[in-house]
Amino acid sequence: MGVNKIQKQFNLVLLVHWWTMHGREEKKMKIAKRVQGMEYAIRDIAIVGDELAKKGKKIYYFNIGDPVNPAVSDFETPDYIIESLAEAARNGYNMYGNSLGVHELRMKIAEEEGRRNGLNLDPDDIILTSGVSEAIFFVTAALVEDGDEVLVPGPVYPPYISYTKFFGGKHVEYELVENNDWQPDIEDFKTKVTKNTRFILLCSPNNPTGVLYNQEFIKNLNDLAAEHDIPLVSDEIYDQILFEKQNSYTCPVSTLKNDLPIIGMNGFSKAHLSTGWRLGYMYFHDPEGRLNGLKRNIESLARIRLCVNVPAQHAAIKTLEDPKDHTSNMVNKLWKRRDFCVKRIAEIDGLSTNVPDGAFYLFPRLDFMEWDGCPWKTDKEFVLDLLKDTGVMTVYGSGFGKYGTNHLRMTYLAPVDVLEEAFNLIEGFLQDNLD
């Protein structure tokens, strides 16, 4: 099938989906501009995949980073954590809770951050959130207005862009340099800091590249942030999913050991295999009290949405006071899966990749996009064509911003035999189309 036809069909499926969901109201109702045109490639592609699945096609769900979705992976939420959630519900923890989170959990998180990252936090420095997603929303809501800028890594995890736009701001991508193992380029970075920069976002290990920022960059960043008095916002959701560099620091405070204000974000979704429970937190590392006003306002915002899932918070207390080996078991399996995928990609003509340090994503370059006679005009066309032909669902790199163009992102959460089947399909598909 021609690529233009595939692109048209994709647009048609999205249009029909959108019309079914919103078409009738749109006629009567004025919709705020800030929510119009929101895109999220990781889930948008699934609309097409789900249509194909309904028609009976076998789909390989490599688009979404959900380790406990049985369609994606074979990992499971540990029984003892499930049991503690059920027990909390049975014991009557079914009412609204404190807006900032259950105090005992905030205490445990402060201790855990101290142990793991050497942070000196008080329970009052922590706010529980509905996942890191809500923490990103809170920080952006509190810091960004019309005309403000947020410095985000490029390639970029899309919600950083969406929330920035939502609040009238502009995202500016600092380049992660592919041929330098996707490390940030400090010189590029310096040119992008302006008087409008409201915060600098770090994501290490990074989604989508899987790379841990090097310590030299973090030190340089420290000087820059201090000079311009810009807070760092650090997304540490993958900090426990690391391979060779398991003992490296992911949190910038641990590297810097200084007083720079940092807003950290972390959660239970990935390391504790509970994505659907929606539990995360933000912490304020702020020895000089410079974030006090910000924290007070985010606390008020948190009160508006009442509270975070209460039984899940009780289960999280149990997880932290009685840690078992589910995270390290997952990491060991992922490590083998990563190695398998890296080897297979190296064997396939037209693809190349770095070796991720952590998380569970690969972000291979589609080298063939620059070959003469390449039948696809964009990475999106390729990813759609691949999905329709083979059932392998990945995400087009351009969905991760301009530095992601001509790549694809895939998870390696599936067992090796499933990954092997999918790579055989990808290899055959490329051979058939790139002659």
Distances (CA, A) of 28 to 14, 21, 22, 31: 21, 14, 11, 10
Residue 51 CB burial class (10 angstroms; 0-12, 13-18, ≥19): middle
Residue closer to ligand PLP, measured from CB, 49 or 264: 264
Residue closer to ligand PLP, measured from CB, 277 or 376: 277
Q: What is the DSSP letter of 213?
A: P
Shortest Cβ 270–ligand PLP spacing (Å): 7
Residue closer to ligand PLP, measured from CB, 192 or 278: 278
Given 203, 262, 308, 316, the residue binding ligand PLP (CB under 6 A)? 203
Shortest Cβ 346–ligand PLP spacing (Å): 25
φ, ψ dihedrals at 247, nearest 5°: -95, 10
Shortest Cβ 343–ligand PLP spacing (Å): 25
Shortest Cβ 274–ligand PLP spacing (Å): 9
Interface of this chain with ligand PLP, residues 242 to 261, rule: CB under 6 A: none
Interface of this chain with ligand PLP, residues 123 to 182, rule: CB under 6 A: 131-133, 157
Residue closer to ligand PLP, measured from CB, 203 or 393: 203
Cβ-count burial 325-352 (b if 16+ within 10 Å, e if not) = ebbeebbebbbebbebbbebbeebebbe
Residue closer to ligand PLP, measured from CB, 217 or 400: 400
Helices and strands: H and E segment counts in the chain: 15, 15
Given 73, 269, 353, 394, the residue binding ligand PLP (CB under 6 A)? 269
Given 164, 207, 319, 405, the residue binding ligand PLP (CB under 6 A)? 207
Query: DSSP 3-state assignment of 290?
Result: coil
Given 73, 234, 240, 275, the residue binding ligand PLP (CB under 6 A)? 275
Shortest Cβ 66–ligand PLP spacing (Å): 8
Residue 244 CB burial class (10 angstroms; 0-12, 13-18, ≥19): exposed
Judged by CB under 6 A, the number of residues near ligand PLP is 13
Given 237, 256, 362, 392, the residue binding ligand PLP (CB under 6 A)? 237
Give me the residues paired with residue 126 across strands.
283
Residue closer to ligand PLP, measured from CB, 156 or 418: 156
Residue closer to ligand PLP, measured from CB, 207 or 309: 207
Shortest Cβ 151–ligand PLP spacing (Å): 16
φ, ψ dihedrals at 177, nearest 5°: -90, 115
Residue closer to ligand PLP, measured from CB, 49 or 131: 131
Given 49, 67, 231, 280, the residue binding ligand PLP (CB under 6 A)? 280
Cα 105 from chain centre: 24
Specify the amino acid at residue 408.
Answer: L
Concatenating the DSSP letter of every residue in 86-116 gives HHHHHTTTTS---TT--HHHHHHHHHHHHHH
Shortest Cβ 341–ligand PLP spacing (Å): 18
Interface of this chain with ligand PLP, residues 37 to 76, rule: CB under 6 A: 65
End-to-end CA separation in angstroms for the chain: 16
Which residue, 195, 191, 201, 113, is CA-closest to 163?
Answer: 201
Residue closer to ligand PLP, measured from CB, 157 or 423: 157
In this chain, which stretch among 94-102, 109-117, 223-231, 267-275 interacts with ligand PLP, using CB under 6 A? 267-275
Give me the residues paired with residue 264 across strands.
234, 283
Given 267, 311, 350, 364, the residue binding ligand PLP (CB under 6 A)? 267
Q: Helix 416-433 and helix 379-390: axis angle, to 10°?
A: 110
Shortest Cβ 57–ligand PLP spacing (Å): 25
Give me the residues paired with residue 265 across strands.
235, 282
Shortest Cβ 213–ligand PLP spacing (Å): 13
Q: In this structure, how many other beta carbons lie within 10 angstroms of the beta carbon of residue 78?
A: 19
Q: What is the DSSP letter of 164?
A: H
In the complex, residue closest to ligand PLP by CB: 131
Shortest Cβ 36–ligand PLP spacing (Å): 23
Residue closer to ligand PLP, measured from CB, 44 or 235: 235
Shortest Cβ 68–ligand PLP spacing (Å): 11
Concatenating the DSSP letter of every residue in 340-353 gives HHHHHHHHSTTEE-
Which residue, 253, 272, 234, is CA-closest to 135?
Answer: 234
Q: Which residues bind ligand PLP (CB under 6 A)?
A: 65, 131-133, 157, 203, 207, 235, 237, 267, 269, 275, 280
